[in-house]
Structure 1
Amino acid sequence: MRTIILTFIAFMLVASPAFAHFGMVIPDNNVATQESRSTNLALSFSHPFDGIGMPLEKPKQFYALVNDEKIDLLPELTETTIMDAPAWKTNYRFKRPGVYQFIMEPKPYWEPEEDCFIVHYTKAYVAAFGSEDGWDTPARLPMEIVPLSRPYGLYVGSSFTGQVLKDGKPVPSTIVEYEFYNKDGYKRPTEYHVTMVVKTDKNGVFTVTCPKAGWWGFAALTTADYTMVVPDAGEKPVELGAVTWIKVDDFKK
């Protein structure tokens, strides 16, 4: 009987859907105006639907990219706690129009349960003062999702289309996991409703419709062509993730 129970537990662990890790860069809002010229930015590493945080070391890089200018924001980060885990925050004041890509490159995260390192190149967009230029400009990251739909000014029910690039080239037939930042504690109908999955087409393109107002994260995953060393355990693979966060809004009267 004990053998049967252990076998069943092992089967359930293998058969259950995996809950994804997401790098997170979440602004207060994704539009800056003359009346609201600054935004608070929260950086974390988590399971966003279930609200489970993991420790995030101070990133390797954190910067804003706008009009081909790179603005280093790493020195501005201060420690905070998000989802009961160490995280980072800062405030940014917009001085001129543009579409700002806020980009985090984390230090590699060792995940023993998956026997690999995780590196998620993570970004979010903020449009400042009515700007419309640059939202589809690649950030030239090793792995990224480039929007083919404007990543702001979206209503609930809008579809978001993105293209996954690795070293600037489309990545066909790759998994894109996406998840809702569930700050209000909505219940999941099944485990499959936590991390949803879509695949890119032959051009590295995917489309997802967002049914709920709030922040949605998309993580395109692949294996790096290099390994990293764990002391006393040898070389281990590296999961590269291209993560993009977008916000969708309800209609208002």
Structure 2
Amino acid sequence: MRPALLPALCLAITAAQPATAHFLQAIPSADVLPDGGPVTLDLTFTHPMEGGPAMEMVAPARVGVLTEGAITDLAPALTARKVDGATAWRLTHDLPAPGASVFFVQPQPYWEPAEGKFIVHYTKVVVDSFASGEGWDALVGLPAEIRPLTRPTGLWAGNLFTGVVLKDGQPAPFAEVEVEWVNDGSVAAPNDAFITQVLRADANGTFSYTMPRAGWWGFAALLEADAPMTAQDGAQVPVEEGALIWVQATDMGGN
């Protein structure tokens, strides 16, 4: 093979590799608190199905919780920690009253050089205090957000989760949704096609997915922001806005 062809061939091979999905994990210590009380939320920027590695995460631009229509700023509760040598975050918050609370995170924009764009995934997870079953579909009002149509707490493995992708509060037709499971090391993907499940919402922005295994599942709807951002070289580049929700499925055997 002539040396002059090597750079072009290497570029073609690189371009042919499937992109690895980035997920901002927002995983609480429990999705249901039967007796209320404190819940710990771990924030990690990582590749869930591959078990990592975690990536460096700067302090979020915004982190809070929506409870009974009121938003509480949780930024003062954040503490830094290390996961795979990268910075991640943790907070603890008390839920003394019955009802669902929607924890949400707006990360700082992440520059993805392989795709030539910034990524901002607005992430949320619902925790139900005293197993009330109320308030689980409350919306934070994020620029990109998933409205759950299935209660996102107290779900069994095998349950169907359904949600609506919203952009600026309106359904986003035919949005692409990536799905990954937080791998505990018990599953090896047969090949790269199995790492990230991909589906598309319908004309009303609605999607459904059956969670086949117990554990935490992330649903990330990928949208393009209306306005670009300025890259380090001064170029105007697109911004991927993600609407991400985390849902736990529990095995009926109790595992």
In the superposition, the TM-score normalised over structure 1's length comes to 0.94
The answer for the alignment partner of 2:101 in structure 1 is: 100
In 1, Cα distance between the equivalents of 2:149 and 2:132? 17
In 2, Cα distance between the equivalents of 1:197 and 1:12? 23
In 2, Cα distance between the equivalents of 1:198 and 1:83? 30
What secondary structure does 2:238 align onto?
strand
Deviation at 1:33, TM superposition (A): 2.1
- Tell me which amino acid in the other structure corresponds to 2:32: V
In 1, Cα distance between the equivalents of 2:87 and 2:186? 21
Q: Per the alignment, do residues 218 and 8 of structure 1 end up closer, same or farther by CA in structure 2, a change over 3 Å counting?
A: same
Deviation at 1:113, TM superposition (A): 1.5
Q: Per the alignment, do residues 186 and 9 of structure 1 end up closer, same or farther by CA in structure 2, a change over 3 Å counting?
A: farther
Instruction: Give the alignment of 1:69-148 within 5 angstroms.
Output: 69-148=70-149
Cα pair 2:102 2:138 within 8 Å, conserved: no
The answer for the alignment partner of 2:42 in structure 1 is: 42
The answer for the alignment partner of 1:196 in structure 2 is: 197
Root-mean-square deviation (Å): 1.6
The answer for the alignment partner of 1:176 in structure 2 is: 177
Q: Per the alignment, do residues 158 and 4 of structure 1 end up closer, same or farther by CA in structure 2, a change over 3 Å counting?
A: farther
Cα pair 2:147 2:166 within 8 Å, conserved: yes
What secondary structure does 1:54 align onto?
coil
- Tell me which amino acid in the other structure corresponds to 1:44: T
In 2, Cα distance between the equivalents of 1:138 and 1:222? 18
Ranges of 4+ aligned residues in structure 1 off by more than 6 Å: none
Q: Per the alignment, do residues 26 and 174 of structure 1 end up closer, same or farther by CA in structure 2, a change over 3 Å counting?
A: same
Deviation at 1:165, TM superposition (A): 0.2
Mind listing any 5+ residue stretches in structure 1 that lack a counterpart? none
In 2, Cα distance between the equivalents of 1:138 and 1:246? 16
Q: Per the alignment, do residues 5 and 158 of structure 1 end up closer, same or farther by CA in structure 2, a change over 3 Å counting?
A: farther
Deviation at 1:82, TM superposition (A): 2.4
In 2, Cα distance between the equivalents of 1:142 and 1:236? 18
In 1, Cα distance between the equivalents of 2:159 and 2:11? 40
Q: Which range moved further: 7-16 or 135-144?
A: 7-16
In 2, Cα distance between the equivalents of 1:84 and 1:26? 19
Deviation at 1:205, TM superposition (A): 0.4
Q: Percent identity?
A: 42
String of CA shifts for 1:123-182, please: whole Å, max 9, x gaps: 011010121221122221100011011101111111110100000110011110010111
Deviation at 1:4, TM superposition (A): 6.3
Q: How many residues align?
A: 252
In 2, Cα distance between the equivalents of 1:189 and 1:241? 27
In 1, Cα distance between the equivalents of 2:96 and 2:180? 32
In the superposition, the TM-score normalised over structure 2's length comes to 0.93
In 2, Cα distance between the equivalents of 1:64 and 1:252? 32
In 2, Cα distance between the equivalents of 1:240 and 1:108? 10
